[in-house]
């Protein structure tokens, strides 16, 4: 049983592991997380990380980090380092167990030779197109390669020459000899090795043949003593092949268990397409806050705790489904509500002159940092004769039910006084550029001598003390819930949301934010949750909106 009292409720994976320990199939738990270093990790990988590392932790076991670096054409050290950063950010540590499939290239080669000697593998000269043609269909068996019955000696000679680099890319492959009529396509003589004359980020030019994942996967698990190889559901059909290699090689056999991968609405999960977005400059990079890459979520202001809670709520199942983005946003709102300090920021400023407030006077108003956590204390906010309010908080001709600023209308300024509009100043084009107001000096912090109350409370920033800031507002990057699944013949790029990012210049924030550290998170009163971006400079912060205050998921839960 898990030794962690806070472990997730027992799901089918944990139940299977408990049974394995009870029956003695294994006497410990050792998992692995096997990312391919060909891009940055996204929210889907977070589920795999939390399952792989979390289960090992809960059962007092170990989890290896093992890179599946078997395709040198797409891999890079940049991705290797980024993956480590993301795993650590989620709160996990592989300790001294950092491995690479390339660590085992020599052993994997010898295993392939062993299968050739047993008559279980052969060198095939079919091209990639011919391989697809010979594979057959769901209703028709495949055809055997003309080279399937080469002698062991010839196969050994050709495979060694493949290793030495005598043949061009794509001219030959090494295939397992299983059954071309097998109902499972993965068992129809799958390719084990292909020729790739490409420089590897770790082994350089030592190798020009590289194992396929289906061959490397199980053998690497075996070499490392993995007990439970936890995979996403698409590998369920690959499990017979995983087990076939282990059996034919006569080596230690881990147990493969599959779970449903994570799909999220309005989110692109294809690394290939994400790379297109980055390379074509559609986004600012792999860490663009509109992407659900882990570095993008981090830059946007998401917390690892929110990601963990989201994955916990999604659960571990065996049926693929698509999760509503609203649930992820709900989880980060819940978390930031508890930890984010409240501050005041005016995103579209409108100047207000309080005509009866003393010229040159400055008062320091006490403001609570977070009403959800008294230990966060208070701060002081300067108040003066000139302030900024949100342009959207004023209507010259207000609709029914309007409780904000309007001619002759009185509102409360958060932490300060009641003010009333007395005059509206416009420019030559008729646009409102300034409001003239009066204030009630007896109404500080919402207390008046006559006990009157107002229904509207606005945030504000003192104009002489305001700090200029840039604020980036984000919406979903795509206009359709499933951008990975678009009609045939349709370019998925056509579903990119042209309004996914709005950059506001000249925003005004309270002086406490002048030198806010990159990564700090705040709730802008009445606006949402924001995070300080890495593009910030001294005295000119840049903020990314993490999420709005409105919570559609909470409403859904209440209705449910």
Condensed to tens digits (0 to 9), the pLDDT of residues 125-177 reads: 999 999 999 999 999 999 999 999 999 999 999 999 999 999 999 999 999 99
Q: Is residue 5 part of a domain?
A: no
Q: Are residues 336 and 355 in the same domain?
A: no
Q: Is the pLDDT of residue 433 over 60?
A: yes
Q: Residue 100 maps to which CATH number? A: 3.40.50.620
Output the CA torsion 319→40→518→366 (10° steps).
-10
Q: Are residues 242 and 280 in the same domain?
A: no
Q: Is residue 143 part of a domain?
A: yes
Q: Is residue 4 part of a domain?
A: no
Structure tokens at 392: 């959207």
What is the predicted pLDDT for the residue at 1? 43
CA atoms within 13 A of residue 119's CA, in its CB half-sphere = 2
Q: Is residue 2 part of a domain?
A: no
Q: Is residue 434 part of a domain?
A: yes
Q: Is the pLDDT of residue 355 over 90?
A: yes
pLDDT for 495-509, tens place per residue?
A: 999 999 999 999 999
Q: Is the pLDDT of residue 351 over 90?
A: yes
Q: Is the pLDDT of residue 328 over 90?
A: yes
Q: Is the pLDDT of residue 3 over 70?
A: no
Q: Are residues 191 and 108 in the same domain?
A: yes
* Rounded distance between C-alpha atoms, residue 212 and residue 247, angstroms: 18
The mean of the pLDDT values for the chain is 95
Q: Is the pLDDT of residue 230 over 60?
A: yes
| Domain final residue, candidates 208, 225, 259 | 259
Q: Are residues 326 and 380 in the same domain?
A: no
Question: Max Cα separation, the chain?
Answer: 103
Provide the number of structural domains found in the chain. 3
What is the predicted pLDDT for the residue at 9? 62
Q: Sorting pLDDT into bands at 50, 70 and 90, what band is 485?
A: confident
What is the predicted pLDDT for the residue at 555? 57
Local structure of 468: helix, strand or coil:
strand
What is the predicted pLDDT for the residue at 7? 45
Q: Residue 309 maps to which CATH number? A: 2.40.240.10
What is the predicted pLDDT for the residue at 213? 96
Phi/psi-derived region of residue 254, left when phi > 0, alpha when psi is between -120 and 50, beta in every other case: beta
Q: Is the pLDDT of residue 2 over 70?
A: no
Q: Are residues 128 and 48 in the same domain?
A: yes
Q: Is the pLDDT of residue 460 over 90?
A: yes
Q: Is residue 465 part of a domain?
A: no
| Domain final residue, candidates 259, 280, 295 | 259
Q: Is the pLDDT of residue 560 over 60?
A: no
**280 CB-contact burial (10 Å; exposed 0-12 / middle 13-18 / buried 19+):** exposed
| Rounded mean pLDDT, 307-318 | 96
Q: Are residues 243 and 302 in the same domain?
A: no
φ, ψ of residue 168 in degrees (nearest 5): -75, 165
Q: Are residues 154 and 229 in the same domain?
A: yes
Give residue 555's domain range: 271-341+470-559
| Rounded mean pLDDT, 229-236 | 96
> Which stretches within 236-343 are classed as H helix?
239-249, 271-279, 294-300, 304-314, 325-339
Return the top range by mean pLDDT from 3-17, 62-76, 539-553. Answer: 62-76
Q: Is the pLDDT of residue 556 over 70?
A: no
Q: Is residue 264 part of a domain?
A: no
Proportion of the chain above pLDDT 70, given as a percent:
97
Dihedral sign for Cα atoms in the order 18, 19, 23, 26: negative
Q: Are residues 232 and 292 in the same domain?
A: no
Q: Sorting pLDDT into bands at 50, 70 and 90, what band is 4?
A: very low
Output the CA torsion 219→222→228→229 (10° steps).
-20
Q: Is the pLDDT of residue 18 over 80?
A: yes
| Domain final residue, candidates 434, 459, 484 | 459
Q: Are residues 111 and 245 in the same domain?
A: yes
b/e string for 302-339 if b means 16 or more Cβ within 10 A? bbbbbbbbbbeebebeeeeeebebebbbbbbbbbbbeb
Active site residues: 36, 261, 271
φ, ψ of residue 177 in degrees (nearest 5): -100, 100
Is the model more confident about 203 or about 455? Answer: 203
pLDDT for 438-451, tens place per residue?
A: 999 999 877 777 77
Q: Are residues 477 and 356 in the same domain?
A: no
What is the predicted pLDDT for the residue at 452? 84
Residue of 73, 86, 78 whose CA lies nearest to 41 = 86
Q: Are residues 79 and 223 in the same domain?
A: yes
Q: Are residues 276 and 199 in the same domain?
A: no
| Rounded mean pLDDT, 315-342 | 96
Q: Is residue 542 part of a domain?
A: yes
pLDDT for 397-411, tens place per residue?
A: 999 999 999 999 999
What is the predicted pLDDT for the residue at 167? 98
């Amino acid at each position: 049983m898990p030794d962690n009292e806070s472990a997730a409720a027992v799901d089918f994976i944990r139940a299977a592991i408990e049974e394995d320990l009870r029956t003695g199939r294994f006497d410990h738990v050792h998992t692995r997380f096997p990312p391919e270093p060909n891009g940055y990790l996204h929210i889907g990988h977070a589920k795999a990380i939390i399952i792989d590392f979390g289960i090992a932790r809960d059962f007092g076991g170990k989890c290896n980090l093992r890179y599946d670096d078997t395709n040198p054409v797409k891999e890079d050290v940049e991705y290797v380092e980024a993956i480590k950063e993301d795993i650590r950010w989620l709160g996990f540590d592989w300790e001294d167990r950092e491995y690479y499939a390339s660590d085992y290239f020599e052993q994997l080669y010898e295993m392939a030779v062993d299968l050739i000697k047993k008559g279980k593998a052969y060198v095939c000269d079919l091209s990639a197109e011919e391989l697809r043609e010979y594979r057959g269909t769901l209703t028709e068996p495949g055809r055997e390669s003309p080279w399937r019955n080469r002698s062991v000696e010839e196969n050994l000679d050709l495979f060694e020459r493949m290793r030495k680099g005598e043949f061009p890319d794509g001219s030959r492959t090494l295939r397992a000899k299983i059954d071309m009529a097998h109902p499972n396509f993965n068992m129809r003589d799958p390719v084990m090795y292909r020729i790739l004359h490409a420089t590897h980020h770790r082994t350089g030019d030592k190798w020009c043949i590289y194992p396929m994942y289906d061959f490397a996967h199980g053998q690497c698990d075996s070499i490392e003593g993995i007990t439970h190889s936890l995979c996403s559901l698409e590998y369920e059909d690959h499990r017979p092949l995983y087990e076939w290699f282990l059996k034919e090689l006569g080596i230690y056999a881990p147990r493969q268990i599959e779970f449903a991968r994570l799909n999220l609405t309005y989110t692109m999960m294809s690394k290939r397409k994400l790379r297109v977005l980055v390379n074509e400059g559609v986004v600012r990079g792999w860490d663009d806050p509109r992407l659900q890459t882990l570095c993008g979520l981090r830059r946007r202001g998401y917390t690892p705790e929110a990601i963990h809670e989201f994955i916990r709520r999604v659960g571990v199942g065996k049926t693929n489904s698509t999760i509503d983005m609203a649930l992820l946003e709900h989880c980060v709102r819940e978390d930031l509500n508890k930890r984010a300090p409240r501050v005041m920021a005016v995103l579209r400023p409108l100047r207000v002159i309080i005509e009866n407030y003393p010229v040159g006077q400055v008062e320091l108003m006490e403001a609570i940092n977070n009403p959800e956590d008294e230990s966060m204390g208070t701060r002081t906010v300067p108040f003066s004769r000139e302030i900024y309010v949100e342009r959207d908080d004023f209507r010259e001709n207000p609709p029914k039910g309007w409780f904000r600023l309007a001619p002759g209308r009185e509102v409360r300024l958060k932490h300060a006084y009641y003010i009333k509009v007395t005059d509206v100043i416009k420019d030559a084009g008729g646009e409102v550029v300034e409001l003239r107001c009066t204030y009630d000096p007896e109404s500080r912090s919402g207390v008046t001598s006559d006990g009157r109350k107002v229904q509207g409370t606005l945030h504000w920033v003192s104009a002489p003390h305001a700090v200029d800031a840039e604020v980036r507002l984000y919406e979903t990057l795509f206009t359709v819930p499933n951008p990975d699944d678009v009609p045939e013949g349709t370019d998925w790029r056509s579903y990119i949301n042209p309004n996914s990012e709005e950059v506001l210049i000249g925003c005004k924030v309270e002086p406490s934010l002048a030198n806010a550290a990159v990564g700090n998170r705040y709730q802008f009163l009445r606006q949402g949750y924001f995070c300080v971006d890495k593009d910030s400079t001294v005295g000119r912060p840049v903020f990314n909106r993490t999420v709005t205050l409105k919570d559609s998921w909470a409403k859904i839960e209440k209705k449910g």
